[in-house]
Amino acid sequence: MQIQFLDLKRMDEELKAALKSKFSDMLDKGIFSGGDEVNLLESQISTYLKSPFSIACANGTDALELALRALEIGVGDEVIVPAMTWVSTAEVVVMVGATPVFWDTDADGLLASDWEKAITSKTKAVIPVHLYGKMVDMESLMQKAKKHKLFVIEDGAQSFGSYQNEKGAGTFGDVGCLSFYPTKNLGALGEAGMCLTNSAELNKRIRLLLNHGQLVRDEHELLGRNSRIDSIQAGFLNAIFEKFDLFQTRRKNFASMYLEGLTGIDGLQFPTSILEEGHNAHLLVIQTVRRVELKLFLMDKGIGTAIHYPHILPDMKPFHSDGNFSNARKLSKQVLSLPLNPWMKEGEIEYIVKAIRDFFT
Ligand SMILES: Cc1ncc(COP(=O)(O)O)c(C=O)c1O
């Protein structure tokens, strides 16, 4: 059996047909920037997440950078960022001229709850990342941020569909940032992202920033750039969104099959929180000190895996920074992501489970 970590050409024939039909409709309409599909995407997401303002943009990295710029964070400011995340979370802080201050994570890879210790007189914001789809305790984080008058930018790139106390990931902070990169739970057929906010003022600023500072053509109110979403991607996302709940059910079902098959193995840690209701099951990340061996063993059996992520940010050349990042560093050496997506077959999960059991026994 050959099982890639993720093979997007395996998506359902029914979905492929809907996407082809969407493309054909859009070709006939001839609107490739802005337009009805972008408006529909924004309003659908606003309704789904109960977010007053949803602003589609070019990708998740831009969404984070737009959030920082809209909040006027820049030179001389510090932003607290977890040591273990995708590089974008810290990259954007540097891109706006501010300094990322890294803080360790907890054992699950989420910003450690004692992050307040990283606050200095220069701190302007904190960026909690809902890594792998598991949410940071947002009530507690928001309280601390409020106490210190810090902005909160939620990096919800991996957490579309996750929620806490019935509130969607990305709707707690001043701005929530989503990625619709093709590998995400709600993924486009290319690049796309979104900012969420409750603030009419931030909504306006983000819309200006992503469109050369203009709300109306040729009236440039501030310095911006082009970070607009492609209409075609908005159209594809609208088609894919119709299946989102079904795909989530399949993900959760596969996650519980993994859990049933893999609990109780000595030397393997299973992410039990993935089955909690508010977890979107974006990535199924196991931990073992024998990661390298296991990865090779599975590869030999035709099973693709991935590592999210092999290096912590403070160890990377562009960010080099000292500190105690022991949890994050341990994760970077032990995590291994198993295939989990709506287009898998139950027999494939059984095959992977058996291979892992064989490895450990
Ligand atoms: C945690 C996190 N932040 C930000 C991003 C950036 O999103 P994009 O790839 O759409 O720019 C990603 C995407 O992988 C991510 O996983």
* Interval 244-287: pLDDT, tens: 999 999 999 999 999 999 999 999 999 989 999 999 999 999 99
For residue 199, give every residue at least 6 positions away whose Cβ sits within 8 Å of its Cβ, in sequence order, or none: 53, 174
Q: Is the pLDDT of residue 111 over 90?
A: yes
Residue in 86, 130, 183 to alter for ligand 1 test, most ligand atoms within 8 A of Cβ: 86
Residue in 88, 91, 110 to alter for ligand 1 test, most ligand atoms within 8 A of Cβ: 88
**Annotated active-site positions, please?**
184
Tell me, in angstroms, the distance from the centre of ligand 1 to residue 60's CA: 5
Residue 333 has a pLDDT of 98
- CA dihedral 339→358→109→338, nearest 10 degrees, is 0
Say how far apart CA 160 and CA 65 lie, in whole Å: 19
CB of 185 within 6 A of ligand 1: the answer is: no
3-state secondary structure of 151: strand
CB contact at 8 A, 356 and 294? yes
Residue 277 has a pLDDT of 94
Q: Whose CA is nearest to atom 8 of ligand 1?
A: 60
Residue spans of the domains in the chain: they are 8-103+110-241, 244-360
Which CATH code fits 8-103+110-241? 3.40.640.10
Per CATH, domain 244-360 is 2.30.31.10: no
Kindly state the average pLDDT of the residues 16-30.
98
Say how far apart CA 93 and CA 103 lie, in whole Å: 14
Q: To the nearest whole number, what is the mean pLDDT of the chain?
A: 98
Q: Point out which residues pair with 317 in neighbouring strands.
A: none
- pLDDT, tens digit, for every residue of 291-307? 999 999 999 999 999 99
Q: Strands 123-126, 78-82: parallel, antiparallel or unpaired by DSSP? A: parallel
Q: Whose CA is nearest to atom 12 of ligand 1?
A: 157
CB of 181 within 6 A of ligand 1: the answer is: yes
Tell me, in angstroms, the distance from the centre of ligand 1 to residue 325's CA: 21
**Proportion of the chain above pLDDT 90, given as a percent:** 99
Q: Strands 151-155, 123-126: parallel, antiparallel or unpaired by DSSP? A: parallel
Residue 272 has a pLDDT of 85
Beta strands in the chain (DSSP E): 53-57, 78-82, 99-103, 123-126, 151-155, 163-164, 167-168, 175-179, 193-197, 284-287, 335-338
CB of 160 within 6 A of ligand 1: the answer is: no
Angle value at C-alpha 176, between 206 and 309, nearest 5 degrees = 120
C-alpha dist (Å) from residue 238 to 27, 61, 244, 282: 16, 21, 10, 19
Say how far apart CA 224 and CA 227 lie, in whole Å: 9
Say how far apart CA 128 and CA 157 lie, in whole Å: 11
Tell me, in angstroms, the distance from the centre of ligand 1 to residue 63's CA: 9
Do domains 8-103+110-241 and 244-360 share one topology? The answer is no
- How many residues are there in the chain? 361
**Proportion of the chain above pLDDT 70, given as a percent:** 100
State phi, psi for 171 to the nearest 5 degrees.
-105, 5
Residue 17 has a pLDDT of 98
Tell me, in angstroms, the distance from the centre of ligand 1 to residue 361's CA: 37
Atom nearest to 59 CA in ligand 1: 10
Q: Is the pLDDT of residue 153 over 90?
A: yes
- pLDDT, tens digit, for every residue of 320-347? 999 999 999 999 999 999 999 999 999 9
Residue 175 has a pLDDT of 99
C-alpha dist (Å) from residue 49 to 45, 225, 340: 6, 27, 24
328 phi-psi bin (left φ>0, alpha ψ -120 to 50, beta other)? alpha
Residue 316 has a pLDDT of 98
CB of 132 within 6 A of ligand 1: the answer is: no
Say how far apart CA 189 and CA 92 lie, in whole Å: 24
Kindly state the average pLDDT of the residues 111-122.
98
Q: What's the alpha-carbon Rg for the chain, to the nearest Å? A: 21
Q: Which amino acid is at 315?
A: D
